[in-house]
Amino acid sequence: EAGVAQSPRYKIIEKRQSVAFWCNPISGHATLYWYQQILGQGPKLLIQFQNNGVVDDSQLPKDRFSAERLKGVDSTLKIQPAKLEDSAVYLCASSLDRPNIQYFGAGTRLSVL
């Protein structure tokens, strides 16, 4: 069974630029999560989708972050414009249903200079 796929693995941008991350969950998994992990911290949930609907985005900085999950499969997370404090690893996870074990991708490491 293929795992959660994320791309790119690494991204370096300058502040005020835009960036987008992509996630392909495990086939058949209805629930998809985006987490932000700042160095030395545990992951923090940014947004949760159930199919293509948003379940929770209370910790998503909506003035600069946006996410979508078209057709209830792949998802993209965008930051526009990026700030220095956005430097982190962005992890995507999926689960078969709610609630259930979450399977994580390898993450995208973002450095904002």
Partner 1 sequence: KQEVTQIPAALSVPEGENLVLNCSFTDSAIYNLQWFRQDPGKGLTSLLLIQSSQREQTSGRLNASLDKSSGRSTLYIAASQPGDSATYLCAAYSGGGADGLTFGKGTHLIIQP
Buried b / exposed e along 91-102 (16+ C-beta atoms within 10 A)? bbbbbeeeeeeb
Q: Which of 11, 24, 29, 31 binds partner 1 (CB under 8 A)?
A: 31
Q: Residue 4 or 19: which CB sits closer to partner 1?
A: 4
Q: Which of 27, 58, 63, 70 binds partner 1 (CB under 8 A)?
A: 58
Tell me the C-alpha distance between 57 and 55, whole Å: 7
Tell me the C-alpha distance between 44 and 41, whole Å: 9
Q: Which of 33, 79, 88, 112 binds partner 1 (CB under 8 A)?
A: 33
- Report the interface residues with partner 1, using CB under 8 A: 4, 31, 33, 35, 40-45, 48, 55-56, 58, 91, 93, 95, 98-99, 101-107, 109
